[in-house]
Amino acid sequence: MIFLHRHRWATPYLLLLPGMAFLAVFFLVPTYYLANTSLQSGDLFSGYVFSWAWENYTDAVTRYQAQFLRSLQYAGLATLLAFLISYPLVYWIAFRGGRWKNLLLLFIIAPFFVTYLIRTLAWQTLLGDEGFVVQTLQTLHLLAEDGRLLATSTAVVAGITYNFLPFMALPIYVSLEQIDQRLIEAAEDLYASRVMAFLRVTFPLSLPGVFAGTLLTFIPAAGDFINAQLLGTPHQSMIGNVIQSKFKVIADYPEAAALSFVLMSAILVVVLVYARVLGSERLTG
């Protein structure tokens, strides 16, 4: 005990050591290996060897531009949709939920408790050409007679939106929940109508949550391949599908690794631009 007390400075490091060592070995080292792999060349039969093969990157960028763009586009769209759906919802819970808040919140994370694949399969059932959603929409003439939902980009985006919505909703909820009610009263006291009070006070104050939510939604969405695979067609395949197939089907590991890195950088760029646009200072305020 005395030892612990005397060496108080060491305590944080002792606490960090096991976890950080684990992350270092199983996150940083793999990243290094991935980087290494991405610069290898060769083929499955003769083996892949490290050779500064930057062409893997040029290849990745040029050949799969469409999928990259589509991934960013779908992820962006899904993020936007998730935001539009979840913001009013969590706003309602945070400000109208009263005693039931925690219970209502439970409904938001409910999808998490049904295995990812199962809920995506449920979407398949729901959106099936003979399913009731399509039939209803067709009866209402919102969808052409020969129209379909499954195997369209609509389905893929809807699936992605659905699967990552809780990631958007929870941080926004947290930031809304933390807003001091008196600030809204103060705004109304200063002649802001409810709408203005929302626009000028509530919304700006919830931006940190929106920021966190968009990142937590956008990042996994951009790398997803399940939704495109189960709900889409070749026209909807995303970069995640390509990486997946390079790893598991074509066994072209260097190319797959290069694609992974390009994906990470693309996400990083989008995130940085986004942070810049939103203004990082406002976020901390």
Partner 1 sequence: GGGGGGISAQTGAGGASTEVKQQLADTLVFANWPAYIDKKGSSRPTLEKFTAETGVNVKYIQEVNDNEEWFGKYQAQLSQGQDVDRDIVVLTDWMAARMIRLGYVQKKDKSAIPNEANLVEALQNPAWDPNRDYSLPWQSGLTGIGYNPKFTGGPVTSVEQLLTDSKLKGKVTCLTEMPDTMGLVMQAQGADPTKVEPAAFDSAIDMLQQAVDSGQIRRFTGNDYLQDFPAGSTWAAMTWSGDVAQLQSDTPGLEWVIPDDGGMIWTDNMLIPTGGDVFTASTYMNFVYDPKVAAEIEAWVNYICPVEGAKEELAKIDPSLAKNPQIFPDEETLAQVKLFDAEAADNTDLKEKFQAVIGV
Partner 2 sequence: MAVEERVEPSATSGGEASAPDVRLESVTKRFDEVVAVDELTLEVPHGRFFALLGPSGCGKTTTLRMIGGFEEPTEGTIYLGDRDVTGLPPYKRDVNTVFQSYALFPHLTIFENVAFGLRRRGIKGENLRKQAIRILELVQLSGMERRKPRQLSGGQQQRVALARALVNSPRVLLLDEPLGALDLKLRKEMQLFIKALQQDLGITFIHVTHDQEEAMTMADSIAVMSDGHIEQLGSPDDLYERPSTPFVARFLGVSNLLEGVSNGDGSVRLDDGTVVRAPGAQGRQGPVAVGIRPEKIRIGRTDENALSGEVKERAYIGVSTQYIVSTPQGPISVYVQNSEAGAAAVHPGDQVTLSWSPDSTFVVDSEKARSE
Partner 3 sequence: MTTAAERLPARRTSGLLVRALRFVRHHLLTVYAMLAFAYLLLPIAVVIVFSFNNPAGKFNIVWQGFTFDNWLHPFNSPDVQQAVTVSVQIAALSSVIATALGTFIALALVRYRFRGNGATNLLIFLPMATPEIVLGASLLTLFLNNPLGVLPPLGFGTVLIAHIMFCISYVVVTVKARLVGFDRHLEEAAMDLGANEVTTFLRVTLPLIAPAILAGALLSFALSVDDFVITYLNSGSVVTFPLYVWGAARTEISPAINVIGSAIFFIAIAIMLVNVLWQWRRQPKGAV
Q: Is 79 in the site for partner 1 (CB under 8 A)?
A: no
Considering the rule CB under 8 A, would residue 86 count as an interface residue with partner 3? yes
Binding-site partner at residue 86 among partner 2, partner 1, partner 3, none, CB < 5 to 8 Å by type: partner 3
CA 212 to chain centre: 10
Find the shortest distance in angstroms from Cβ 93 to partner 3. 7
String of contacts with partner 1 for each residue 205-244, x by CB under 8 A: ---------------------------xxxxxx---xx-x
- Under the binding rule (CB under 8 A), the answer on residue 19 touching partner 1 is no
- E strand or H helix at 42: strand 40-43
Q: Are 154 and 235 in contact (CB under 8 A)?
A: no
Helix (H, G, I), strand (E, B) or coil at 238: coil
Tokens representing 257?
């690794």
Question: What is the footprint of partner 3 within residues 156-175 (CB under 8 A)?
Answer: 162, 165
Site residues for partner 2, window 204-233 (CB under 8 A)?
Answer: 204-205, 207
From 107-115, 139-147, 201-209, 277-285, span contacting partner 3 (CB under 8 A): 107-115
Which DSSP category does 200 fall into?
Answer: I
**Helices 203-223 and 65-96, interaxial angle, to 10°?**
140
- Distance CA(277)–CA(218), nearest Å, equals 16
Percentages (nearest 5) of helix, strand, coil residues in the chain: 80, 5, 20
Q: How many residues belong to the site for partner 3 (CB under 8 A)?
A: 86
Nearer to partner 2, 66 or 196 (CB): 196
From 53-61, 138-146, 261-269, 274-282, span contacting partner 3 (CB under 8 A): 261-269
Cα dihedral across residues 146, 148, 151, 156: positive or negative? positive
- List contacts with partner 1 (CB under 8 A): 32-33, 36-37, 40, 42-50, 63, 67, 124-125, 128-131, 146, 148, 150-151, 232-237, 241-242, 244-253
